Amino acid sequence: MSATSTLPGPALQASRAALSAALADQDIQSPTDEELENGEIQEVDMQAQAEGIRTVFSDPTNFNVKHPLYSPWTLWFDSPATKGRNLPQTPVSAFPQTPIPQTPGVAAAQGWMEDIKRVISFDSVEEFWGLYNNIIPPSQLPQKANYYLFKEGIIPAWEDEANKNGGKWSIQLPKDKNRAHVDKMWLYTMLAAIGETFDPAPTQGGGGNAVSLITGVIVSTRPQFYRLSIWTRLAPNTNDDDAALRSRIEGVGKHFKINVLGYSESQRLAGPLATEVEFLSHKDSEKKGKSARKIIA
Ligand code: MGP
């Protein structure tokens, strides 16, 4: 019970920021610097979450097999506690990372990206579990926080080249009824993303050149609800030429609703503070819903 955290710097700092924010939100006294320094707070969280799972983080010498993912992914985080705080975003030697590409999209999203902190990148199943077991689950995050898990090289902004013509499937879930389920829903959403099951065409004989529609997944905590979102590279127009794309996008939504979230196809979900699983292009999101064309899964 005395091990210090093995998380690399930025992941540890983001986790601490999330922890302080969660404690502040619940009006619990924040840990002292000394407690944070010796890793006690981190360790309690790891014990609770990592029970029974051995990864490269718990046994770096005897664990010698890595299961590579189809793509590397980057976790990003923001909350009221990260706003205006200069958490480091430097690469971590234990993880393969590339600098944020300085594309026009990134420059355009500068204001939006200011408070969103890059936590870490990973490209194997083992590194995913190492990260997952060391970060605070959505049910314990403060209000107005977000985790963004995006393919490495794509920033979680409409302005990114990979997102600018896309859209998102999302569902809003009232907090009171879903507090006990949201962590599993987020875990299954992340697993479907990194396992590439949302849009499997490119990995099933797509010849390696086909590109998945999925750019990232997000969980958001708001005062009265959670939101889970799946971002896609493209969004269908209304014209017939888009029939194939529309059906591929609808496949993503159905998989999300039925296989990931566990609802039946015919189940209607909208209600007070709750929405259906629905798709909106980012262009329509920017217009804040004015004349928006939603697709319902
Ligand atoms: P949000 O956080 O996605 O929606 O966007 P929410 O949860 O309904 O609103 P909140 O106020 O409770 O957080 C909120 C606002 O952030 C949007 O209306 C935009 O002004 C801005 N915004 C959101 N996104 C995803 C982007 C983005 O990708 N780029 C830019 N420039 N602004 C964004």
Structure confidence at residue 252 (pLDDT): 98
User: How big is the chain, counted in residues?
Assistant: 297
E strand or H helix that includes residue 73 = strand 68-78
* 242: its two tokens: 């888009």
User: Residues 218, 229: contact at Cβ < 8 Å?
Assistant: yes
Q: 280 versus 102: which is more confidently predicted?
A: 280
For the chain, which domains are there?
Answer: 68-296 (3.30.760.10)
Q: E strand or H helix at 147, and its extent?
A: strand 145-151
CA of 29 to the centre of ligand 1 (A): 30
How close is the Cα of 231 to the center of ligand 1, in Å?
A: 14
What is the Cα–Cα distance from 250 to 126, expressed in whole angstroms? 31
pLDDT in tens, 35-44: 545 444 444 4
Quick one: which atom of ligand 1 is closest to the CA of 109? 31
Look at residue 58 and tell me whether its pLDDT is greater than 90.
no
pLDDT for 165 equals 96
User: Tens digits of per-residue pLDDT, 133-160?
Assistant: 999 999 999 999 999 999 999 999 999 9
Buried b (16+ CB within 10 A) or exposed e, 249-263: bbbbbebbbeebbeb
pTM: 0.78
pLDDT digits (tens, 9 = 90+) for 188-214: 999 999 999 999 877 665 555 679 999
Protein residues whose CB sits closer than 6 Å to any atom of ligand 1: 109, 112, 157-159, 220, 222
8 Å CB contact between 151 and 73: yes
Contact 74, 149 (CB under 8 A): yes
- State the helix-helix crossing angle for 40-49 and 9-25, rounded to 10 degrees: 90
* Ligand 1, atom 24: closest residue by C-alpha: 157
pLDDT for residue 243 is more than 70:
yes
Report CA-CA distances (Å) from 99 to 118, 146, 232.
Answer: 11, 22, 22
Average pLDDT, whole number, for the chain? 80
Cα–Cα dist 86/243, whole Å: 45
Q: DSSP H helical segments within 82-181, as ranges? A: 104-108, 110-113, 125-132, 175-178
